[in-house]
Amino acid sequence: MQKDIHPNYRPVVFKDMGADFAFLSQSTVATDETIEWEDGNEYPLVKLEVTSATHPFYTGKQNIMDTTGNVERFRRRYGMSPK
C-alpha cells in the first residue's frame, strides 16, 4: 500500500439523537465533536437521526401522522371533491 493516501480509519461513536442509543464502530467519517465512551476513552462523535433503535422496520412501531386536516385543506383550496 502507498503511504499517506488512505483516509484515517479509526474508532468512532455513532449516537442516535432520538433515543438513548450509541455504538462504537470503525469509520473514516470526519467530525469535530467527541464523546467519552464507556471504557473511559474519548472518541469522535457522529450524531444520527435514525438507527436500528428508532427505525420502524426494526422496532415494529409505525409513527402515523394525522394529515387529514392538511388533505382536506388542500382539496378545499384547489376545488377538488373528496373521494
Residues 13-58 have pLDDT tens digits of: 999 888 888 999 999 999 999 999 999 999 999 998 877 677 666 5
Q: What is the pTM of this model?
A: 0.63
Residues 56-72 have pLDDT tens digits of: 665 566 655 555 677 77
Residue 77's H or E segment, with its range, is: helix 68-77
In angstroms, the Cα distances linking 30 to 9, 17, 37, 38 are 10, 18, 18, 21
